[in-house]
Amino acid sequence: MTPVAHRFLFSVRLRENRTPGSGCPPSLAAMAPNIVPGKHVDIHLWTRPETVEPVAMQQLHNIAALPWAVKHVAVMPDVHYGKGATVGSVIAMREAVSPAAVGVDIGCGMAAVRTSLRAEDLPDDLGRIRSALESVVPVGFHQHQDPAFDQRDASDWDSFWRGFDNLTPVVRDKVDRALRQMGTLGGGNHFLEICLDTTDQVWVMLHSGSRNIGNELAKYHIEVARKLAHNDELPDPDLAVFLAGTPEMAAYRHDLYWAQDYARRNRAVMLRLATEVLRARFPHVQFDEPISCHHNYVAEETHFGEEVLVTRKGAIRAGRGDLGIIPGSMGTASYIVRGLGNPDSFESASHGAGRRMSRNAARKRFTAEDLAAQTAGVECRKDSGVVDEIPAAYKDIDEVIANQTDLIEVVAKLKQVVCVKG
C-alpha cells in the first residue's frame, strides 16, 4: 500500500493570557510588544504537532510572530529544537533574513554519486576501503597538510579564493585553516559512506558543510544582528534579522554566499577524493553525474507571487524535478528523492531523519555495545566517541519520508555498508 502523506496545519493563536496547565505557549504579544496581535503567520507542519518537543514548538511560534515572515512557516517532518530557529524549518521573509534561521554551519548539505559497481564487486572485508577513505579525507578536527583541491573540482579556484580577502575582517587570519579544511569532513553528524541501493548498485554519499570558516562567519553575524535596534523586542534575541538596504545585510549576504560556495566545493573535493579511492581498486569503475544539495542556506526565490529571501535550516529545495538527498542515521536507510514542487512547503522537503533526543541524552542512555548492535553489518566506528550518533537517537527515516509524499517522490533507497565518521 502506498503511504499517505500527512500534513497538519497548526495555526498560531496570540493569547493575552496563558491558562495555567494548559500547555499553551506564553503570550507572544507580551513577549514581543512590537508585534501586533493578528499580525502573524500560520505554521504548517508535515508531522503531528504532538511529536514536536515543546521548546521547538515555542521556537516555531516565535518565528511565526516575526513581522517580516511571509505567508506561513513550513515545518518539515524531521523538525527539532535548534538555536533561534528550529532545525527543519523553512521561512520566507520580505526584505529581511535571520542568520540563526540558516544555522552556524552555512551551506551544510549532501552529495552523492551512483557508481557502476555492484555489491558483488565489493570485497568481503570492507575495513580496507574504510581505512583508505579515512586516509584521504580528514575527519574531526584534522585537516589536509597541503591543499587538496584542484581543477578537477572546479575551474575558478583563483577567483573563489580572492573572494576571501573581501570577507569580514574578523576571519582574515583564518585563510590557512580554510585552505587546509577544504575537502575535509568534520565531526558530529557529518559522514562519508559507501551504500547499496535496492538493486545492489554501489553509491558514494557524504554530508558536510563550510567547516570552521562558515561557523566563524555565522557566529559573527548572529552577534551583529542581536545588537541592532530593530531587534530589541523580538521574542527571542537569536532570531535577530538583517534588513534589506542596510550595510549589515549587504555584509552578511556577501559572506553567506561565499560560505555556501565553500561548502559546495568542500563536498565536491571530498567526493572526488572518495571516488579516486574506488578507482584505484576498480580501474574500470564509472560514475554518474553527482547530486548535490544544501540544507542550511538562503536563496532568493519567488513564492506566492512575491520575491522573498527563503531560509532553509535543515531542509532541502524540492522544486519540481529537483534531485535531493535525505539521509537517515549511521545504521538506517537514506533516500535519493525528486521534488514535486509543492508551493505550500515553499518547494522544500526534509534534510534527514532529524534527532529525537539530544547528544547528551544519547550519551547517557546508550553504550558502545548498543551502538555496535544498531550498526551491525556496517563497517564503521563502534566506540563511545560516536554513541551520540546512534540510530536510536534519530527519528524513523521511513516515517519521515512517508509524511512528505506530497513534497517528494523516492528515486532510490540506500543502505550504507561503510560509514566514516569524525
Q: Which residues are catalytic?
A: 351
Ligand-binding site membership of 230 (annotated): no
* DSSP-derived secondary structure for 343-392: GGGTSEEE-SS-BSS-HHHHHHH--HHHHHHHTTT-BS--SGGGGGG-GG
Ligand-binding site membership of 284 (annotated): no
Strands of the 296-303 sheet, one edge to the other: 8-10, 42-45, 69-80, 87-93, 306-313, 296-303
Ligand-binding site membership of 82 (annotated): no
Whether the Cβ atoms of residue 73 and residue 89 lie closer than 8 Å to each other: yes
Ligand-binding site membership of 159 (annotated): no
Ligand-binding site membership of 413 (annotated): no
C-alpha cell at 316: 532541502
Which residues make Cβ contacts (< 8 Å) with residue 124, sequence separation at least 6?
none
HEC assignment per residue over 133-186:
HHHHCCCCCCCCCCCCCCCCCCCCHHHHHHHHHHCCHHHHHHHHHHHHHCCCCC
Cα–Cα distance measured from residue 70 to residue 67, given in angstroms and rounded to the nearest whole number: 8
Residue type, 161: W
Ligand-binding site membership of 351 (annotated): yes
Ligand-binding site membership of 210 (annotated): no
Ligand-binding site membership of 189 (annotated): yes
The values of phi and psi at residue 136, to 5°, are -110, -20
Dihedral (C-alpha) 262, 264, 265, 269: value to the nearest 10 degrees? 130
Beta bridge partners of 301: 308
Ligand-binding site membership of 192 (annotated): yes
Ligand-binding site membership of 396 (annotated): no
C-alpha cell at 153: 573540482
Ligand-binding site membership of 207 (annotated): yes
Ligand-binding site membership of 295 (annotated): yes
Cα–Cα distance measured from residue 51 to residue 185, given in angstroms and rounded to the nearest whole number: 31
Ligand-binding site membership of 146 (annotated): no
Helix (H, G, I), strand (E, B) or coil at 199: coil
Ligand-binding site membership of 314 (annotated): no
Cα–Cα distance measured from residue 77 to residue 5, given in angstroms and rounded to the nearest whole number: 11
Whether the Cβ atoms of residue 256 and residue 298 lie closer than 8 Å to each other: yes
C-alpha cell at 73: 512557516
Ligand-binding site membership of 327 (annotated): yes
Ligand-binding site membership of 382 (annotated): no
Ligand-binding site membership of 330 (annotated): yes
C-alpha cell at 19: 491558562
Cα–Cα distance measured from residue 352 to residue 324, given in angstroms and rounded to the nearest whole number: 11
The annotated binding site is made up of: 105, 189-193, 207, 295-296, 327-330, 334, 351-354, 421
The annotated binding site for Mn(2+) is made up of: 105, 190, 207, 295
The annotated binding site for GMP is made up of: 189-193, 295-296, 327-330, 334, 351-354, 421
